[in-house]
Chain A
Amino acid sequence: MRLHEYQSKSIFAQHGIPIPKGRVANTAGEVKQIAEELGGRVVIKAQVLVGSRGKAGGIRLAKSVQEAEEIATQILSMDLRGLAVRRVLVDEIVSFSKEIYLGITNDRTERKPVIIASGAGGIDIEQVARETPQRIIKVYLDAPFGLHDFQTRELAIGIDLPRELWKSFNGIAKGLWKAFKENDAAIAEINPLVVTQSGSLIALDGKLIVDDNSLFRHPELVEIRDLDAEEPVEVEARKYGLSYIRLDGNIGCMVNGAGLAMATLDIIKQSGGNPSNFLDIGGGASADKVSTALRIICADPAVKVILVNIFGGITRCDEVARGILAARNEVNRPIPLVVRLAGTNAEKGLKLLADTDMKTASSLEDAARKAVEIAAREMK
């Protein structure tokens, strides 16, 4: 679960990290009022859950209250990568002499949290990591002990931070570590952390992504989740424990297991087709869950055919077949189905589908070929 910039920065501030003066606003009128309070010169930042907002025109500077109101009107009517901008953050403008990157994530290989700093912060940090990896300093943390003073000094020296800022950098790095740990974060990131012209450190941007698996113990974060900022169909799927991602093709896919689902998409592409979605119904899905999954796939008007690929382990193929039949009766758009069932109770499942017009397939390859043929025919 990804938090908005204003939510992330507010959590960082609670852990003692300095952030610019500012507030979030829903209307141009509110922006005007905040700009007045901040003396007119402000930065207006779209609050959407996509990256590269600045490059897409979602972050702009205003030199006066009037200009702030005009810019806010424009940004609040924008779509950034298909997501409507509903809120903006209005911050005071901070002049700075240096941009630092500071982030914490979990390293899969080391099985440890890692804190990363670079003196070359800002929007091109990934390019820096690829081309000049020596400018990226990493320190691994031992989970029970956390971040030590000597480690933040290593980082500060590694990024050539002036000595008089070491103490304040130590406080910020430790605050970020606490925010990371207490919120079960997958990523806590400040980019940029700037050295201001008056010689202090301040976090101009903030990003906090929370581990979805931990949300059961973070009701306070679930409460501030902004569902309007996510794809409605993905929100709906999540409610039923389905993992759905929309793609741009016309062959709907329903599969159990993420690996098999990806392999199914791969083979559709290899067979000359184009999948409309990734959908993993998980293990042990009930008939109800299966029919919900099919309804979600059918809601995409681009879908011309649906490929169901189930390899039953915990999942029982007869239960899947019942779900398919239930969905058939509810959805009034007649979309052809190609069904491949294997594993637990496959024969029972196929028997349930025998008296319908659904095509069955003997293997994944066979299913992909049939689905691609039907999609091509339906497009004519």
Chain B
Amino acid sequence: MSILVNKQTRVLVQGITGHEGSFHTAQMIAAGTEVVAGVTPGRGGEWVLDGKVPVFDTVKQAVGVTEVNAGVIFVPASAAADAILEEADAGLELIVCITEGIPVKDMIQTCAGLKKTQSRLIGPNCPGIISPGESLVGIIPASIAIPGDIGIISRSGTLTYEVLHGLKQAGLGVSTCVGIGGDAIKGCDFVDLLEFFEDDPHTKSVVLIGEIGGMDEERAAEMIAAKFSKPVYGFIAGLSAPAGKRMGHAGAIVEGGSGGAEEKVEALQQAGVKVAASPGEVISLIQK
């Protein structure tokens, strides 16, 4: 079983006629995902991917004809915020935005707009969601994950693949793996997803993959300590990162001096999370 996406998920792809959109739509279909529509303004009426998927000019048109309940976005950064709001306006419950490089201002306005809707946004700048054996909404290689009872939440793309691959090699399966994305302003964070995993009876433990910057991991640690009942394993990338390029005082004042890898590891450990020193060690901690 799984969270967010399963056999009932019916997906619409924005940017389906583009290079990335068409490639990954084929991958999603191969992984068993029900892709029911595509949207590219100006290309409505065409059928793509061997004539299997109808293309519409707008999301609303697609929703009127097919029973869509999730959208995935592959459009360029300059158009992505608009694409997210279009899907929310059409009433899609789940929106997954793969696009990277969206301006922060656009995402702030988009997140404010989403509050007035029922839609849930994953991403942007993320690899999407996979419930192995059920549905893939995004770009995670389906071949590296097998079904099971471990939930994964990650801020990083390829680092997630590393962990999925390691779990598969050890014969360990995944209920759902969610890439929440690497951007500063994003739809869902660790806390939102932990709530889903808490309520999913088929998820027995959760792996949380974080990295330096922001306060997401610290907030997750608070939530885990207060009300998360399942075992959590963690990994934080960036322990050896240099203090780096400072960005003025405002960021440091807002975050009050935290956000470093060591602070995150400590916060998670205090909440009872077993934190691995490397992606490989995540697997051995679970096996113990």
Q: Which residues of A contact B108 (CB under 8 A)?
A: 106, 111-113, 143
> Contact between A187 and B247 (Cβ–Cβ < 8 Å)?
yes
- What string of 1s and 0s marks CB contacts (under 8 Å) between B267-288 and chain A? 0000000000111100000000
> Contact between B249 and A191 (Cβ–Cβ < 8 Å)?
yes
> Contact between B253 and A270 (Cβ–Cβ < 8 Å)?
no
> Contact between B219 and A260 (Cβ–Cβ < 8 Å)?
no
Q: Does A311 contact B (CB under 8 A)?
A: yes
- Of all chain B residues, the one with the shortest Cβ separation from A263 is B237
> Contact between A144 and B211 (Cβ–Cβ < 8 Å)?
no
Q: Does B20 contact A (CB under 8 A)?
A: yes
The number of chain A residues touching the other chain, given as a range, is 35 or more
Known contacts A144-B109, A266-B278, A342-B165: does B249 contact A257 (CB below 8 Å)?
A: no
Kindly provide the distance from the CB of A343 to the nearest chain B CB, expressed in whole angstroms: 6
- What string of 1s and 0s marks CB contacts (under 8 Å) between B198-242 and chain A? 000000000001011011100100000000000000010111111
Q: Which residues of A contact B90 (CB under 8 A)?
A: none
Q: Which residues of A contact B158 (CB under 8 A)?
A: 255-257, 259-260, 311, 313
Question: Which one of B156, B161, B211 contacts A343 once the chains associate, using CB atoms below 8 Å?
Answer: B161
> Contact between B279 and A364 (Cβ–Cβ < 8 Å)?
yes
- Of all chain B residues, the one with the shortest Cβ separation from A344 is B141
> Contact between B112 and A144 (Cβ–Cβ < 8 Å)?
yes
Q: Does A167 contact B (CB under 8 A)?
A: no
Q: Does B140 contact A (CB under 8 A)?
A: yes
Q: What are 19 A-B pairs at a CB distance below 8 A?
A: A103-B249, A105-B250, A108-B184, A111-B107, A116-B253, A129-B256, A144-B112, A184-B103, A245-B244, A257-B159, A259-B157, A263-B235, A275-B240, A283-B100, A313-B139, A313-B140, A343-B141, A365-B278, A365-B280
Question: Which one of A187, A217, A262 contacts B241 once the chains associate, using CB atoms below 8 Å?
Answer: A262
- Of all chain A residues, the one with the shortest Cβ separation from B111 is A111
> Contact between A213 and B144 (Cβ–Cβ < 8 Å)?
no
Kindly provide the distance from the CB of B125 to the nearest chain A CB, expressed in whole angstroms: 10
Q: CA A147 – CA B204 in complex, angstroms?
A: 46
Q: Does A79 contact B (CB under 8 A)?
A: no
Q: CA A255 – CA B279 in complex, angstroms?
A: 15
> Contact between B212 and A262 (Cβ–Cβ < 8 Å)?
yes
Q: Does A136 contact B (CB under 8 A)?
A: yes
> Contact between A129 and B140 (Cβ–Cβ < 8 Å)?
no
| Beta-carbon contacts under 8 Å, A95-119 to B | 101, 103-109, 111-114, 116
Kindly provide the distance from the CB of B12 to the nearest chain A CB, expressed in whole angstroms: 21
Q: Which residues of B contact A343 (CB under 8 A)?
A: 141, 144, 161, 165
Q: Which residues of A contact B41 (CB under 8 A)?
A: none
- Which residues of A line the B interface, CB within 8 A? 51, 101, 103-109, 111-114, 116, 125-126, 129-130, 133, 136, 138, 142-144, 181, 184, 186-187, 189, 191, 207, 209, 211, 213-214, 216-217, 245, 247, 255-260, 262-263, 265-270, 275, 278, 283-284, 311-314, 342-344, 363-365
> Contact between A313 and B157 (Cβ–Cβ < 8 Å)?
yes
Known contacts A113-B108, A211-B104: does B127 contact A130 (CB below 8 Å)?
A: no
Q: Which residues of B contact A314 (CB under 8 A)?
A: 20, 24, 139
Q: Which residues of B contact A363 (CB under 8 A)?
A: 280
Say whether chain A's binding surface is mostly helix, strand, loop, or mixed.
mixed
Q: Which residues of A contact B279 (CB under 8 A)?
A: 263, 364
> Contact between B240 and A257 (Cβ–Cβ < 8 Å)?
no
Kindly list the 3 A-B residue pairs having the minimum CB-CB distance in the complex, ordered from nearest: A259-B156, A257-B158, A105-B250
Q: Does B16 contact A (CB under 8 A)?
A: no
Q: Which residues of B contact A101 (CB under 8 A)?
A: 249
> Contact between A136 and B112 (Cβ–Cβ < 8 Å)?
no
Kindly provide the distance from the CB of B141 to the nearest chain A CB, expressed in whole angstroms: 5
Kindly provide the distance from the CB of B193 to the nearest chain A CB, expressed in whole angstroms: 16
Q: Which residues of A contact B248 (CB under 8 A)?
A: 51, 103, 105, 187, 189, 207, 209
> Contact between A129 and B159 (Cβ–Cβ < 8 Å)?
no
Q: Does B162 contact A (CB under 8 A)?
A: yes
> Contact between B159 and A260 (Cβ–Cβ < 8 Å)?
yes
- Of all chain A residues, the one with the shortest Cβ separation from B239 is A266
Q: CA A106 – CA B255 in complex, angstroms?
A: 11
Q: Which residues of A contact B214 (CB under 8 A)?
A: 108-109
